[in-house]
Structure 1
Amino acid sequence: MTALLQVAGLSKAFGGVRAVDGVGFSLAPGEMLALIGPNGAGKSTTFNMVGGQLAPDSGSVRLAGQEIADLPPRAVWRLGVGRTFQIAETFASLSVVENVQMALLSADRRIFRFWRPAAAHRLPDALALLERVGMRAQAARPCSELAYGDVKRVELAMALAHAPRLLLMDEPTAGMAPAERLALMALTREIARERRMGVLFTEHSMDVVFGQADRVLVLVRGQLLAEGTPEAIQQDARVQAAYLGSGKLRQHAKERAHA
Structure 2
Amino acid sequence: MTTTAPALLQIEQLSKSFGGVKAVQGVSFAVQAGELLAMIGPNGAGKTTTFNMVGGQLAPDSGRVLLDGEDIAGLAPRHVWRKGVGRTFQIAQTFASFTVLENVQMALLSADRRLWQFWPRAASHRRADALALLDGVGMAQQAERACSELAYGDIKRVELAMALAHAPKLLLMDEPTAGMAPAERVALMQLTRRIARERQMGVLFTEHSMDVVFGQADRVAVLVRGKLLAEGTPQQIRDDERVQQAYLGTGLVLEKHA
User: TM-score by structure 1 length?
Assistant: 0.95
Equivalent in 59, 68, 72 of residue 72 of structure 2: 68
Question: What are the ranges of 5 or more consecutive residues in structure 1 without an aligned counterpart?
Answer: none
| Count of residues in Structure 1 that have an aligned counterpart in Structure 2 | 254
The answer to whether the Cα contact below 8 Å between 2:53 and 2:74 also exists between their aligned partners in 1 is no
Equivalent in 239, 243, 253 of residue 239 of structure 1: 243
Q: 1:159 to 1:178 in 2, by over 3 A?
A: same
**Structure 1 position 174 matched with structure 2 position 187:** no
User: Residues of 1 paired with 2:118 and 2:175: CA distance?
Assistant: 34
SS in 1 for 2:116: coil
Which residue pairs with 1:188 in the alignment? 192
Which residue pairs with 2:27 in the alignment? 23
User: Residues of 1 paired with 2:122 and 2:160: CA distance?
Assistant: 20
SS in 1 for 2:87: strand
Root-mean-square deviation (CA), in Å? 1.5
Which residue pairs with 2:220 in the alignment? 216
Give the Å deviation of 1:83. Answer: 0.1
Equivalent in 56, 80, 87 of residue 84 of structure 2: 80
User: Residues of 1 paired with 2:200 and 2:251: CA distance?
Assistant: 36
Give the Å deviation of 1:243. Answer: 1.7
Give the Å deviation of 1:70. Answer: 2.2
Give the Å deviation of 1:126. Answer: 0.3
The answer to whether the Cα contact below 8 Å between 2:56 and 2:73 also exists between their aligned partners in 1 is yes
User: Residues of 1 paired with 2:223 and 2:74: CA distance?
Assistant: 23
Give the Å deviation of 1:117. Answer: 2.0
Which residue pairs with 2:44 in the alignment? 40
User: Residues of 2 paired with 1:245 and 1:33: CA distance?
Assistant: 25
Give the Å deviation of 1:118. Answer: 1.5
**Structure 1 position 226 matched with structure 2 position 246:** no
Output one character per residue of 1:119-149: Cα deviation in whole Å (capped at 9) or x when no partner.
Answer: 1100000000000100001000000000000
Output one character per residue of 1:52-104: Cα deviation in whole Å (capped at 9) or x when no partner.
Answer: 10000000001000010021110000010000000000000000000000000
Output one character per residue of 1:106-125: Cα deviation in whole Å (capped at 9) or x when no partner.
Answer: 00000002487221100000
The answer to whether the Cα contact below 8 Å between 2:39 and 2:221 also exists between their aligned partners in 1 is yes
SS in 1 for 2:49: helix
User: TM-score by structure 2 length?
Assistant: 0.95
The answer to whether the Cα contact below 8 Å between 1:240 and 1:249 also exists between their aligned partners in 2 is no
Q: Which residue identity does 1:123 align to in structure 2?
A: R
Q: 1:24 to 1:142 in 2, by over 3 A?
A: same
